[in-house]
Amino acid sequence: MKVQICIGSSCHVRGSKQVIETLMKLTKEHEKEVEIELSGSFCMGACSKGVSIRIGEQIYHVKPEDAEDFFHEVILKEAQNAGN
Ligand code: FES
């Protein structure tokens, strides 16, 4: 499953680097269970509420401190569903 994280300037200021580091670490920890492909993306035109993350057609906004919860509650579940 593809997960794109915005690295545009507005998301960078909101902590995209930290979000990416957290998601990379968690993806590695779960690499045996689910297939998650992280990649960077330019501005998604949705800069207002936190770091933009696109999964399929959906764009989420994630704060660095919420990245771990987001991984477990959204990314992991979506990836498990995609694998079924
Ligand atoms: S900079 Fe990330 S959505 Fe615009």
Tokens matching residue 3 = 């997960």
Range of the domain at 14: 2-83
* DSSP result, 15-64: THHHHHHHHHHHHHHTTTT---EEEEE---S--SSSEEEEETTEEEEE-G
Number of structural domains the chain divides into:
1
For residues 61-70, average pLDDT: 98
Cβ 34 under 6 angstroms from ligand 1:
no
Rounded to the nearest angstrom, the distance between the alpha carbon of 8 and the centre of ligand 1 is 5
Ligand 1 atom at minimal distance to the Cα of residue 12: 1
For residues 57-72, average pLDDT: 97
For residues 41-54, average pLDDT: 94
CATH no. for residue 74? Answer: 3.40.30.10
For residues 54-82, average pLDDT: 96
Ligand 1 atom at minimal distance to the Cα of residue 6: 2
pLDDT of 84:
61
